[in-house]
Amino acid sequence: MNGISFTLNGREVTYTGSAADRLLDVLRRDYGCTSVKCGCKEGECGACAVLVDGVLLNSCCVAMGAVDGAAIVTMEGYCKTERFAVLDRAFADLSAVQCGFCIPGMVLAAEALLAKNPHPTEAEIREGLSGNLCRCTGYNAIVNAVENAAKEGNGLW
C-alpha cells in the first residue's frame, strides 16, 4: 500500500498526502488532533511537541516522511493514561495551568523527562522543560507540579 503508515495514539493510520507535509499540520488537519498547538512553526516554542517513539519532538519541524513506521502520541491519547492522571492532579493542585496554550506540549515534555529520569532534581526538571515556552506562569508551579507528580507516581515511570 502507498502512503506513510504509523500509529497515532495506538491506532494504525496511513497518510497518503505528501511526505514533505508537516506533521503538525497533518495531525491538526487530517486527524483532528487540535491539542497539538502552533506557537511558532519554527521549532522554537514547544507548543507543538508530540512523542515520536517516546522522544519529544516539535511536530512543526518533522516532515511526514520521517514518521513512517513510528508510534506517535499526542495529548488526545496520552490523556487516557494513568501517568497523565498523576500529572493532572499535580497540575490541578498547584493551579499550574493558566491560558493553557503551552500545556499539551509541556505535559508531554514532562512525560518524556520522567520516562527517562523518574526522579529528577528541580534543576533537571527545569532543564527538561526548557524547550517549552510558557509566558503565563513563570514556570514555578509547573516545575513543582512535575516534581510532585514524580513523587506521587512512584513506580509509574
Partner 1 sequence: MENISRSVVKKDHAPKMSGRSIYVSDYQTAQSGERILTGKLLRSTLAHARVLGVDVPELPEGYFYVDARDVPGDNNVNIVLDDTPVFCRETVEYIGDPIAMLCGPDPDEVERLVKACRVRYEELEPVLDLAAGQEAFFDYRFGHGDVDAAFAAADKQYDETFETGYQDQTYLEPQGMMAEPEADGGMYVHGSMQCVYYVHGALPRVLACAPEKVHVFQDVTGGGFGGKEDYPSVLGCQVAVAARKCGAPVRCVLDRREDLACTSKRHPSLCRYRAAVKDGKVTALEIDVRFNAGGYSTLSAVVLQRGIIAAQGVYNIPNLRLRGRAIKTNTVPNGAYRGFGGPQTFFAVEMMMDHIARDLGVDALAFKEAHLVKKGDSTSTEGRYHFPVPLPGMIDQVDAACDLRKKRALYSQPQTGRYRRGIGTSLYFHGAGFTGSGERDLIKAVAKLRKYADGTVEVLAANGEIGQGLRTTFPKIVAQELGLPLEKVSYNHPDTARVPDSGPTVASRSLMVVGELLRRAAAKLKAQWRDGEEQEVEERFREPDFLIPFYLDKFSGDAYPTYSWGVNAIEVEVDTYTGKTKILGAYGSFDVGTPIDEKIVIGQMEGGFLQGIGYASIEKMAYDHTGRIRSNSFSDYLIPTAADVPNLKCMLYVEKYPEGPYGAKGAGELPLVGAPGAYVEAMEQALGGVSLHHAPFTAEDTMDTIVKEGL
Q: Which amino acid is at 45?
A: C
Residue 13 binding result from ligand FES, partner 1, none, given CB thresholds of 5 to 8 Å by partner type: none
Rounded Cα distance between 67 and 64, Å, is 6
The x, y and z cell numbers of residue 154, run together, are 512512584
Using CB under 6 A as the binding rule, whether residue 39 contacts ligand FES is answered as yes
Residues 52-81 interacting with ligand FES (rule: CB under 6 A): 58, 60
**Are the C-beta atoms of residues 149 and 87 closer than 8 Å to each other?**
yes
- Binding residue (CB under 6 A) for ligand FES from 107, 134, 141, 143: 134
Neighbours of 146 (CB within 10 A): 28
Using CB under 6 A as the binding rule, whether residue 112 contacts ligand FES is answered as no
Pick 63 or 136: Cβ nearer partner 1:
136
Q: Which residues contact 150 (CB under 8 A, 6 or more apart)?
A: 114, 118, 119, 120, 157
Per-residue contact flags (x/-) with partner 1 for residues 103 to 142, judged by CB under 8 A: xx--x--------------xx-xxx-xxxxxxxxxxxxxx
Pick 38 or 66: Cβ nearer partner 1:
38
> In the chain, at which residue ranges do the beta strands (DSSP E only) sit?
4-8, 11-15, 49-52, 55-58, 71-73
Report the phi/psi class of residue 32: left, alpha or beta, with left for phi > 0 and alpha for psi in -120 to 50.
left
# residues contacting ligand FES (CB under 6 A): 23
**Rule CB under 8 A: which residues touch partner 1?**
28, 32, 34-42, 44-45, 47, 74-76, 79, 84, 88, 91-104, 107, 122-123, 125-127, 129-143
**Rule CB under 6 A: which residues touch ligand FES?**
38-41, 43-48, 58, 60, 97-103, 134-137
